[in-house]
Amino acid sequence: MEIPYTVRPRPDTGLANPKLGIWLFLASEVMLFGGLFAGYIFMRLGADPGMWPKGWLNVPVGTFNTFVLIASSVTVILAWESLKMRNLRMYKVWLFITFMCGLLFLTIKLSYEWPAKFKHFGAYVQKEAAHKYEPLLGNEAHEQDGKLIDGHQARKGYPRLFIGGHLDTDHDKDAMTSASVPFVPEANLDAVIALGKDEKDPAKKAKLLHTREVTLKGIVVRDADIAELNKEHIDPAKKAEILHRMNTIELHAIDAENANPYNPENDKAHFWPVPQVPVEHGKGTLDKRDLNHGHGPLVPKLNTYLATYFMITGLHGAHVLAGCICFIYFWLPIKGGAKLFHTNPEQLCNRIEVSGLFWHLVDLIWIFVFPIFYLL
Amino acid sequence: MSDHTATVDHKADDHGHDAAHGSMFAHVKVYLIIGALLFIFTAITVGLSYIDFDKIAVFIWAFNKIGVHGAAINMVIGLTVATFKVCLVGAWFMHLKQEKAVIWRPLLFTFFFVTALFLLFLLAHSDPIPGSVHWHH
């Protein structure tokens, strides 16, 4: 079926169909993202001071990506203007740059920004257990509970303690996450040992079982312990001792943002990432059983911030991808693409205008995503 | 007079490219200026996020009047700059400035409702039903 009025304006609306269509679509997109943003802002401002994760995103990278998208918004218009001037060569140049900008944006997002989250682990200490660790962290919040600070009454109840760090290798990740029942000591330990047990290659197996030292910033599993536990006969008392030790986390590093939720400095944006403040080594140990269920890499299930972050940037990324697909389609020398220039240039013009309008919306959404998630 | 008009029309038809060239060039200039403004305002947005507006008396006074406190002051200022950038993109890049009423009239509704959505957070900060929210100060 031939879609009518793709070039000529409809007599009743005075517009070509695609234009009215895309604007109605964009209006619905605005409402979709508006709802998501509104939900995020509501939660962000409803959080107690210092309780909302800050500094988890890389501001310089976000700023760069913003510039990339704005630049692509300019180039897509230049592509359209070139078409209007019937300059096929410049049209192809500008559209290709636009496409590459979109691709660059997605590459940064998917090869750096998102994976950086997956290489971090985070864990919240259970509320009931927080009082055990508060004094070790130099955190005065437990003492301030319900008292007056700077004329404001501190909220009742302990804030959520957050432990964060790097997952340097896949093994670290497995050690942190693969336990089927995370807070039962034996199950957790078995999962660590299973890494070696399942290995077919004897040399690798030996390596995994005897020489591997799982070192997370926060969790240390000694290879000597693993070897000891793999022995045929093991003294039950010694086993219990090792199991206990392996289920305590040495507090090497505590996420600086949450070290003291009442410090206003912790609730500020920082252009360059804040260096982690190390807690004195061996100052205290953390029982894994005191962690909230669901600890692990920074993925949506960890907290509301990450859930909304991945939701909104993911949906926005899908839009960028859609735009890229459109642009490369209109760029390629195919019937619906650049070849259309020779048969019906005005229709190709309209196609670029409509996809350009969509692209500007993608840019608009990012203009809101950037300050809301990265800066505020 | 009619001769003159005819000449212009004739020119536009036969040498459309040449006639359009001048205005196209002017368009491109405008697009580049808007692009540069967007770059500048992105930098301004980043800069503003390092200022604690909830510590500056005049901002506290002004925003508390409309029921905005604490971190929300920075949020409102940040979103205002973002909205300004959005207006630049909408007016020039998306051609809403010279668009037909058939297009921008329905968008007024979108604008109204999305603004209402963004302002919903005020409900978490003000006390629309007196006495229903307990403030800690």
Instruction: Supply the pLDDT for residue A285.
Output: 57
Chain A residue numbers touching B109 (CB-CB < 8 A): 27
- To test the contact with chain A by mutation, choose from B102, B109, B118, B125 the residue with the greatest count of A C-beta atoms within 10 A, namely B102
Least confident of A61-75, A108-122, A132-146: A132-146
**pLDDT of A153 strictly over 60:** no
- The rounded Cα B97 to chain-centroid distance in angstroms is 12
Coil, helix or strand at residue A133: helix
CA distance B1 to chain A (A): 29
Give the chain B residue nearest A373 (alpha carbons).
B75
Chain A residue numbers touching B81 (CB-CB < 8 A): 371
CA distance A191 to chain B (A): 43
- The rounded Cα B110 to chain-centroid distance in angstroms is 14
Mean pLDDT is highest, among A84-88, A207-211, A241-245, for A84-88
Chain B residue numbers touching A153 (CB-CB < 8 A): 136-137
Mean pLDDT confidence for A70-85: 95
Instruction: Check B35 against A70: CB less than 8 A apart.
Output: yes
Chain A residue numbers touching B113 (CB-CB < 8 A): 31, 34
**pLDDT of A195 strictly over 80:** no
Strand residue runs (E) in chain A: 120-125, 148-149, 152-153, 161-166, 214-215, 220-221, 248-250, 253-254, 277-278, 285-287, 296-297
Instruction: Check A81 against B28: CB less than 8 A apart.
Output: yes
Burial of A28 (0-12, 13-18, 19+ CB in 10 A): exposed
Instruction: Check B89 against A367: CB less than 8 A apart.
Output: yes
Please give the C-alpha separations between residue A88 and each of A44, A73, A231, A333, in angstroms, as whole numbers: 48, 19, 74, 11
- To test the contact with chain A by mutation, choose from B45, B104, B111 the residue with the greatest count of A C-beta atoms within 10 A, namely B45
Instruction: Supply the pLDDT for residue B35.
Output: 96
Please tell me the distance from the alpha carbon of residue B86 to that of residue B41, in angstroms, as a whole number. 11
A161 phi/psi in degrees, rounded to 5: -85, 135
What is the number of residues in chain A?
Answer: 376
Residue A39 carries which side chain, given as an amino acid letter?
A: G
CB A371 within 8 A of CB B49: yes
CB A254 within 8 A of CB A279: yes
**pLDDT of A8 strictly over 50:** yes
- Domains of chain B by residue range: 2-125
CB A324 within 8 A of CB A37: no
Token output for A299: 């993925």
CB A369 within 8 A of CB A316: yes
Instruction: Supply the pLDDT for residue A253.
Output: 40
Which of A15, A267, A370 minimises the CB distance to B100?
Answer: A15
For residue A277, the surrounding DSSP H or E stretch is strand A277-278
Chain A residue numbers touching B90 (CB-CB < 8 A): 360, 364
**pLDDT of A280 strictly over 80:** no
Instruction: Check B100 against A42: CB less than 8 A apart.
Output: no
Q: How confident is the model at residue A180 (pLDDT cuts 50, 70, 90)?
A: very low
Strand residue runs (E) in A44-155: 120-125, 148-149, 152-153
Dihedral over alpha carbons A356, A357, A361, A362 (to 10 degrees): -20
- Domains of chain A by residue range: 17-118+305-375, 127-291
Instruction: Supply the pLDDT for residue A88.
Output: 95
Instruction: Supply the pLDDT for residue B126.
Output: 63
CA-based R_g, chain A, Å = 27
Evaluate the CA torsion angle A24, A25, A26, A31 in order and state its sign.
Answer: positive
Chain A residue numbers touching B136 (CB-CB < 8 A): 152-153, 155
**Residue bearing the bigger pLDDT, B83 or A272:** B83
Question: pLDDT per residue over A342-361, tens digit each?
Answer: 999 999 999 999 999 999 99
Give the chain A residue nearest B94 (alpha carbons).
A357
The single residue listed with the structure tokens 């039962």 is A184
Give the chain B residue nearest A268 (alpha carbons).
B50
Coil, helix or strand at residue A22: helix
Please tell me the distance from the alpha carbon of residue A256 to that of residue A126, in angstroms, as a whole number. 18
Give the chain B residue nearest A23 (alpha carbons).
B103
Chain B residue numbers touching A38 (CB-CB < 8 A): 117-118, 120-121
Buried-exposed string B75-91: b where 16+ CB fall within 10 A, e elsewhere: bbbbbebbeebbebbbe
Which residues contact residue B116 at a Cβ distance below 8 angstroms, ignoring those fewer than 6 apart? none
What is the homologous superfamily of the domain A17-118+305-375 according to CATH? Cytochrome c oxidase, subunit III, four-helix bundle (1.20.120.80)
Instruction: Supply the pLDDT for residue A46.
Output: 77
Q: How confident is the model at residue B60 (pLDDT cuts 50, 70, 90)?
A: confident
